[in-house]
């Protein structure tokens, strides 16, 4: 399915709040965190089956999460904001099992808790790293 | 120059090396490998690369020491028989380089181990690496 059509459908259903096209290869989609699962599910079933990575960015009082999905050279980046004092979002490992590595990395570095993820143990930080300190958070 | 003892003569004639990357970008490793090619023929100095710390006299460290690798580096160093020497190859191993003060990096090798020779450069040329090891060999020759 064409991405333009998917976005149109999303907009009609109110799943996404905003979108932006940058060139013909990159599409940014802004969503509310509670819509994440349904949006990812829809994108995966329409062909965007390759999750490139999950990015976490500290943007002040919130943490922005970007889920980059691709199909045939086109990349859809799903952006969503979670509050920094309660950074909880649903896991997508039940839709894309390989996302576990990215979720663990984001959990390590920026402290987002992926609800429903069955293993959020340490991945990239060293063994002696203190708990509750997230190196990529700005203070 | 002082009279060299038999042991020092033997040590200075066969400086066997163990190469260990503590978290670098691989640039220095490529230069170390280049220094070991027949073009430079380091075996004329008796330099050999060994696969086990138990066979090595010199620990050749490339890359900044990360928090994760610290204990492994110490463990490898402790497995080497005495007398042992450490050579820090490249800016990262010397001081942490551009990775210094990063959250996952402790700094240069001298934060963890006593370093005998520092070879700067990003990366140092094979000539510089060989020169550094030969300076260490001179140090061994002049030791008591």
Closest-CA residue to B58 (of B77, B33, B75): B77
- The pLDDT value recorded for residue A2 is 77
Q: Do A126 and B103 touch (CB under 8 A)?
A: no
Superfamily of domain A3-84: NADH:ubiquinone oxidoreductase Nqo5 subunit (3.30.460.80)
Ranges of residues in chain A with a pLDDT under 70 are: 1
* B104 interaction partners in chain A (CB closer than 8 Å): 125-126, 135
* A137 interaction partners in chain B (CB closer than 8 Å): none
Answer for the pair A111, A62: CB distance below 8 angstroms, yes or no: no
Burial of B69 (0-12, 13-18, 19+ CB in 10 A): buried
Structure tokens at A99: 């996302």
- The pLDDT value recorded for residue A9 is 81
- The pLDDT value recorded for residue A6 is 81
Annotated domain spans of chain A: 3-84
Answer for the pair A85, A132: CB distance below 8 angstroms, yes or no: no
pLDDT tens digits, B24-46: 899 999 999 999 999 999 999 99
* B68 interaction partners in chain A (CB closer than 8 Å): 125-127
Q: Do B66 and A126 touch (CB under 8 A)?
A: yes
**What are the distances in angstroms from CA B70 to CA A72, B93, B129?**
42, 13, 23
Substitution target in A109, A123, A126 with the highest count of B β-carbons within 10 Å is A126
Q: Do A135 and B66 touch (CB under 8 A)?
A: no
Identify the closest residue of chain A to B65 by CA–CA distance. Answer: A126
> What is the mean pLDDT for each group of 10 consecutive residues in chain B (144 residues)?
74 91 92 93 91 93 93 94 92 92 91 93 93 91 76
- The pLDDT value recorded for residue A131 is 86
Q: Do B68 and A135 touch (CB under 8 A)?
A: no
**Angle (CA) A106 A109 A113, round 5°:** 50
Q: Do B104 and A125 touch (CB under 8 A)?
A: yes
Closest-CA residue to B14 (of B81, B91, B109): B81
- The pLDDT value recorded for residue B3 is 61
Neighbours of B48 (CB within 10 A): 15
- The pLDDT value recorded for residue A28 is 92
Cβ-based interface (< 8 Å): residues of B facing A: 66-68, 103-104
């Amino acid at each position: 399915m064409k991405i333009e059509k998917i976005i149109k459908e999303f907009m009609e259903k109110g799943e996404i709040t905003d979108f932006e096209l940058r060139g013909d290869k990159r599409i940014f989609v802004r969503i509310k965190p509670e819509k994440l699962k349904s949006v990812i599910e829809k994108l995966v079933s329409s062909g965007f089956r390759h999750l490139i990575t999950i990015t976490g960015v500290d943007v002040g009082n919130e943490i922005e999460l970007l889920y980059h999905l691709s199909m045939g050279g086109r990349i859809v980046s799903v952006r969503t904001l979670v509050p920094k004092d309660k950074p909880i979002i649903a896991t997508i490992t039940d839709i894309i099992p390989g996302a576990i590595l990215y979720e663990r990395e984001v959990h390590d570095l920026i402290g987002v808790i992926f609800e429903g993820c069955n293993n959020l143990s340490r991945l990239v930080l060293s063994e002696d790293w203190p708990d509750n300190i997230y190196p990529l958070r700005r203070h | 120059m002082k009279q060299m003892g038999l042991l020092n003569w033997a040590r200075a004639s066969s400086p066997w090396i163990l190469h260990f990357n503590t978290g670098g970008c691989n640039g220095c490793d490529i230069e170390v490998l280049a220094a070991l090619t027949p073009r430079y023929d380091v075996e004329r100095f008796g330099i050999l690369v060994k696969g086990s710390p138990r066979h090595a006299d010199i620990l050749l460290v490339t890359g900044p020491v990360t928090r994760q690798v610290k204990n492994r580096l110490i463990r490898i160093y402790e497995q080497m028989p005495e007398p042992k020497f450490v050579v820090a190859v490249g800016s990262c191993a010397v001081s942490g380089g551009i990775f210094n003060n990063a959250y996952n990096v402790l700094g240069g090798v001298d934060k963890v181990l006593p370093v005998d020779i520092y070879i700067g450069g990003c990366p140092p040329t094979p000539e510089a690496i060989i020169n550094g090891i030969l300076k260490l060999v001179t140090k061994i020759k002049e030791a008591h």
